[in-house]
């Protein structure tokens, strides 16, 4: 949702690594707003590598997160040098504070890949201030951003990822025409991977027809749709979650009742953070013996590709529903 571009307004606390590991899903959502220092540290290490001249003949690409960076890597192959700013689960793409080193990375890049839609305004600002060719995933998606509420987490939209790959291939071909055929072929291969992921999502959803879900955040909304899982989270919960006060007691109770009465068959939570509201919903799901899964916004440990990132999510949701 576009209002998340400003800040996370619900009080949040990053879960310990061990706690995250026991969740049944392996992807990351909006992390603690107290992650600025760790974000700066990671960006500093990225900048150290990126400040050096790119290997001969390689096109420098910068991405706001490693999810989008992985798409650029697949398309560019050995002909690109990709730097992702957000690489750790403890870094929050929404609230991240860009550093001077980040600005240097964007300045040196030929292509800047951002999520857009208010998700990573710091990256969009740096990209616009550079000479890089900007690829804005939300704009590429074709979604109606004026629709309220708008879900800006388009990296879970497989169709959008395919479109972004195609745009990156086109931009790389203009910058480096010598390898244009390679970029085109790589984007086509990525598209084939997306087709397989969509088939996987459809098959997994078909195994659990009519499934409905409540989500503490809209992170995986597009993927749930591709799986045929209906998100029945009350609009009032979604809207109030964006305020300083958070959801009212009544709204929390109404949302919890969707779980305790089994109107919802699944609870989707932020796999890396926790707050009092989330804990209450998790308790409601547990009392009703409903599955609860976590989703993430950046790659967890061991995940290095977009296909694995999304594929693991589909598998884990499917496994949770099968229990």
Strand partners, 83: 62
Distance CA 253, CA 6 (A): 27
Do 225 and 156 form a contact (C-beta atoms < 8 A)?
A: no
* CA dist list (Å): 97 to 15, 135, 198, 243, 321: 21, 21, 34, 21, 38
Do 306 and 26 form a contact (C-beta atoms < 8 A)?
A: no
What's residue 288's pLDDT? Answer: 97
**Cβ-based neighbour number of residue 16 at 10 Å:** 8
Residue ranges of domains in the chain: 32-199, 201-322
Full pLDDT tens readout for the chain, 323 residues:
444 433 343 333 344 333 333 344 333 334 333 333 333 334 444 444 444 555 668 999 999 999 999 999 999 999 999 999 999 888 888 889 999 999 999 999 999 999 999 999 999 999 999 999 999 999 999 999 998 889 999 999 999 999 999 999 999 999 999 999 999 999 999 999 999 999 999 999 999 999 999 999 999 999 999 999 999 999 999 889 878 899 999 999 999 999 999 999 999 998 767 789 999 999 999 999 999 999 999 998 899 999 999 999 999 999 999 98
Residue position matching structure tokens 């078909």: 206
The distance from CA 301 to its chain's CA centroid, rounded to whole angstroms, is 15
Do 32-199 and 201-322 agree at the fold level? Answer: yes
What's residue 24's pLDDT? Answer: 45
Order of all β-strands in the sheet with 266-270? 230-231, 212-215, 266-270, 292-295
Distance CA 287, CA 10 (A): 24
Exposed, middle or buried by CB within 10 Å (0-12, 13-18, 19+), for 212?
A: middle
Tokens of 242: 């964006």
Domain 32-199 sits in CATH at 3.40.50.1980
3-state secondary structure of 61: strand
Class of domain 201-322 as given by CATH? alpha beta
What's residue 241's pLDDT? Answer: 85
Do 209 and 144 form a contact (C-beta atoms < 8 A)?
A: no
Integer-rounded Cα Rg, in Å, for the chain is: 19
Distance CA 156, CA 33 (A): 22
Do 96 and 303 form a contact (C-beta atoms < 8 A)?
A: no
Tokens of 13: 């606390």
Element containing residue 162 per DSSP (H, E):
helix 158-175
Distance CA 193, CA 19 (A): 31
What's residue 177's pLDDT? Answer: 97
Cα dihedral value 266, 270, 272, 277, nearest 10:
-100
3-state secondary structure of 94: coil
Distance CA 295, CA 312 (A): 10
């Amino acid at each position: 949702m576009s209002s998340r571009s400003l800040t996370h307004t619900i009080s949040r606390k990053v879960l310990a690594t061990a706690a995250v590991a026991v969740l049944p899903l392996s992807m990351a959502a909006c992390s603690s707003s107290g992650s600025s220092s760790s974000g700066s540290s990671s960006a500093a290490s990225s900048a150290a590598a990126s400040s050096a001249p790119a290997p001969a003949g390689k096109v420098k690409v910068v991405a706001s997160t490693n999810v989008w960076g992985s798409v650029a890597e697949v398309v560019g192959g050995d002909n690109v040098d990709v730097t992702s700013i957000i690489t750790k689960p403890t870094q929050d793409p929404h609230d991240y504070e860009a550093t001077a080193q980040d600005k240097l990375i964007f300045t040196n890049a030929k292509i800047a890949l951002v999520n857009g839609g208010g998700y990573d305004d710091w990256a969009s600002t740096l990209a616009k201030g550079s000479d890089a060719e900007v690829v804005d995933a939300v704009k590429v998606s074709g979604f109606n951003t004026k629709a309220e509420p708008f879900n800006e987490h388009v990296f879970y939209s497989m169709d959008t990822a395919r479109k972004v790959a195609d745009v990156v291939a086109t931009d790389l071909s203009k910058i480096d025409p010598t390898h244009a055929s390679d970029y085109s072929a790589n984007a086509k291969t990525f598209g084939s991977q997306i087709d397989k992921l969509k088939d996987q999502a459809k098959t997994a959803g078909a195994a659990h027809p009519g499934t409905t879900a409540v989500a503490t955040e809209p992170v995986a909304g597009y993927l749930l749709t591709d799986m045929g899982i209906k998100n029945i989270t009350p609009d009032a919960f979604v809207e109030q979650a964006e305020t300083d006060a958070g959801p009212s007691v009544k709204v929390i109770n109404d949302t919890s009742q969707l779980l305790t009465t089994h109107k919802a068959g699944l609870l989707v939570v932020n796999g890396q953070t926790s707050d009092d509201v989330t804990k209450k919903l998790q308790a409601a799901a547990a009392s009703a013996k409903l599955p609860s899964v976590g989703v993430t916004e950046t790659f967890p440990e061991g995940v290095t590709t977009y296909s694995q990132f999304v594929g693991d999510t589909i598998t884990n949701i499917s496994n949770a529903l099968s229990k």
